[in-house]
Amino acid sequence: MKIIKTTNYRDMSRKAANIISAQIILKPACVLGLATGSSPIGTYDQLVEWYGKGDLDFSEVTTVNLDEYRGLPRENSQSYYYFMNEHLFQRVNIEKSKTFLPDGTEQDSEAACRKYDEIIKSVGGVDLQLLGLGHNGHIGFNEPADAFAKGTHCVDLSERTIQANTRFFASEDEVPRQAYTMGIQTIMAAHKILLVVSGEDKADIVRTAFFGPVTPQVPASILQFHQDVTVVADEAALSKCSGIL
């Protein structure tokens, strides 16, 4: 695991965007695994800026996102499709037909998950997977559990995750209670993993996940076993790791 320390969120975003940009330049028809949430927004902004300057071309890129709320249609402003469209897809020359997320409107969980795993397989797997890190160690919506989930599955969001996501909704009641998420096996099958994390509120989980024991109670800890993980973290997120790094 390579850990890149950055001064702040902006610096983290630029460095992460550089890594994604290198992937697109080296393999224009690559498959990017993407994440939503606050952590990657600056990275997407930077990619959009470089696209605007003519330095990046998304025309051959395929994307598969980590997760989507169950029950939210694409038009809902809280859906992850809407988020991706706002922050990246509609701002670059990506072909919409090559952008994939689990189908939140498919009420049959098994069908939704099976279909998404088939899509990931049909595009040939993920070249570079971008991740954020939840306060409880979740990646995608793989919440702390007794075992690592494999493929795409439907999860009940933990109370902590519901509370953390309430900031995006009018009230806590409106936060969906379930989501479809890529499983740990799919995430671990990506050729490269890039995790972005920022802020002092993530300092404890950064230390626990990347320097503590590997356990499904801290889903991100499994990344210690991946052969090509880069964590781009700001000083605040690494503030509890002094003495280890």
The reply on whether position 232 binds ligand F6R by CB under 6 A is no
The reply on whether position 139 binds ligand F6R by CB under 6 A is yes
Catalytic positions are: 67, 136, 138, 143
Please identify, using beta-carbon distances, which residue of 134 and 183 lies nearer to ligand F6R: 134
Return the residue of 14, 15, 87, 138 that touches ligand F6R, per CB under 6 A: 138
Least Å from the CB of residue 140 to ligand F6R: 4
Please identify, using beta-carbon distances, which residue of 56 and 220 lies nearer to ligand F6R: 220
Nearest 5°: phi and psi at 92? Answer: -130, 175
In this structure, are residues 56 and 24 in contact, taking their beta carbons and an 8 Å threshold? yes
Pairing relationship of beta strands 99-100 and 128-131 according to DSSP bridges: unpaired
**C-alpha–C-alpha distance, residues 64 and 99, integer Å:** 6
Q: Tell me which residue has its CB nearest to ligand F6R.
A: 132
Least Å from the CB of residue 108 to ligand F6R: 22
The reply on whether position 38 binds ligand F6R by CB under 6 A is yes
Please identify, using beta-carbon distances, which residue of 21 and 36 lies nearer to ligand F6R: 36
Please identify, using beta-carbon distances, which residue of 37 and 176 lies nearer to ligand F6R: 37
In this structure, are residues 143 and 177 in contact, taking their beta carbons and an 8 Å threshold? no
Neighbours of 81 (CB within 10 A): 23
Q: Which stretch binds ligand F6R (CB under 6 A): 3-11, 56-64, 113-121, 139-147?
A: 139-147
Return the residue of 6, 21, 23, 39 that touches ligand F6R, per CB under 6 A: 39
Return the residue of 102, 134, 137, 219 that touches ligand F6R, per CB under 6 A: 134
Long-range CB contacts for residues 217-221, cutoff 8 Å, separation at least 24: 217/137, 217/144, 217/145, 218/136, 218/137, 218/144, 219/137, 219/138, 219/139, 219/142, 219/143, 219/144, 219/145, 219/148, 219/184, 220/131, 220/133, 220/134, 220/137, 220/138, 220/139, 220/195, 221/137
Least Å from the CB of residue 145 to ligand F6R: 14
DSSP 191: S
Residue with tokens 């709320």: 69
Stretch 52-91 residues interacting with ligand F6R (CB under 6 A): 66-67
Site string for ligand F6R, 148-167 (x = CB under 6 A): --------------------
Return the residue of 42, 140, 183, 219 that touches ligand F6R, per CB under 6 A: 140
Return the residue of 37, 102, 104, 137 that touches ligand F6R, per CB under 6 A: 37
List of residues 6+ apart from 75 with CB closer than 8 A: 82
**C-alpha–C-alpha distance, residues 122 and 131, integer Å:** 22
In this structure, are residues 185 and 164 in contact, taking their beta carbons and an 8 Å threshold? no
Residues forming the site for ligand F6R (CB under 6 A) = 35-39, 66-67, 132-134, 138-141
